[in-house]
Amino acid sequence: MTLPPIKPGKIVTMGEVLVDIMAVERGRGFHEPLNLKGPFPGGAPAIFVSQVARLGHPAGIIAGIGDDDFGWLTVERLKRDGVDVSAVRVHDDHVTATAFVRYREDGERDFLFNLARSAAGRIELDAPARALLAECGHFHIMGSSLFSFHLIDEVRKAIEIVKANGATVSFDPNIRKEMMDIAEMRAGVELMLQDCDIFLPSGPELLIPTASRSEEEAIAALFALGISAIVVKRAARGASYYDATRAIDMPGYKVTEIDPTGAGDCFGATFITCLRQGMEIEACLRNANAAGALAVSRRGAMEGISTLVEMQALIARSAPA
């Protein structure tokens, strides 16, 4: 199957906007008083959509915040980046989602989320959301947003609307193996695999959804589901692109990793945006790898977002002499 034609319009996403509050000291969990730093605006869909806007492509998000400082902080940040926030609903009976994050000594992270019972758990296709979907040319979903059957239902309805209008759909699973044991996550991933045109897994996420034993087996199974293109993120090693006729590997850029948060989101946003701007797949991969590399070289989820000029400067610096 080849990539569907590009329908003009906004890149729209739907899901959690939240604030990250980070432990300053490394260690495990939050069992004792700690020095914390934050709030920082975040949430995978928020990072994704801000990166799209930073590349100059029209972008919008369907989300929910509480009428509180955490919510307004994230909305102000999205607005500053040029994101259409007309479908961010303010709930006066729920608070903005939060993620407390602590790094372990080995670089893994512990999270303490307030998500399902926050304003982010109340997202629904109200009139402003439907108005934004009417302007949508491409719709992107992150696996982290499929945390309740309510959200999965709303995402399903949104996909029906945008597909009927000729828009394309992409999905970044952002899942770990254990999550497939959670009924909501499994249902959400299955829905998205049926409906997405472009699938953007990272490493093992390629094999998990189809329970495949090799990349070849997984890619064949995903094409059989009707997916047109697969982009595999391979951290420092870069990324690979697959469609019915092409397999393209693109090496990553050498940078010092400071904070991996948001690399996959900036990568995905850049790949999708460049593709919609008519660039060749190789150029989309190079820019997306540069976006991911710039994201890991800066601390803070949304601080890692960069412009095309910054991406191209990194590419030029890294070119073989």
Query: Is residue 304 near ligand ATP by the rule CB under 6 A?
Result: no
Tokens of 78: 């999205």
Query: Is residue 233 near ligand ATP by the rule CB under 6 A?
Result: yes
Query: Is residue 174 near Mg ion by the rule CB under 5 A?
Result: yes
CA distance 129 to 126: 5
Query: Is residue 51 near ligand ATP by the rule CB under 6 A?
Result: no
- What order do you get walking across the sheet with 229-233 strand by strand? 88-91, 59-66, 10-14, 136-142, 168-172, 198-199, 229-233, 239-243, 247-250
Query: Is residue 170 near Mg ion by the rule CB under 5 A?
Result: no
Question: Residues 98, 118, 170, 202: which binds ligand ATP (CB under 6 A)?
Answer: 202
Query: Is residue 262 near ligand ATP by the rule CB under 6 A?
Result: yes
User: Is-contact 312 290, C-beta < 8 A?
Assistant: yes
Which does residue 260 touch among ligand ATP, Mg ion, none (CB within 5 to 8 A, set by kind)?
Answer: ligand ATP
Segment 268-307, which members bind Mg ion (CB under 5 A)? Answer: none
Query: Is residue 249 near ligand ATP by the rule CB under 6 A?
Result: no
Q: CB neighbours of 165 closer than 8 A, spacing ≥ 6?
A: 7, 133, 134, 136
Largest CA distance in the chain: 59
Query: Is residue 260 near ligand ATP by the rule CB under 6 A?
Result: yes
Tokens 């719709």 correspond to what residue?
A: 139
Q: CB neighbours of 321 closer than 8 A, spacing ≥ 6?
A: none
Site string for Mg ion, 196-215 (x = CB under 5 A): ------x-------------
Which does residue 188 touch among ligand ATP, Mg ion, none (CB within 5 to 8 A, set by kind)?
Answer: none
Binding site for ligand ATP (CB under 6 A): 174, 202, 233-236, 238-239, 252-253, 255, 257, 260, 262-265, 267, 289, 292-293, 296
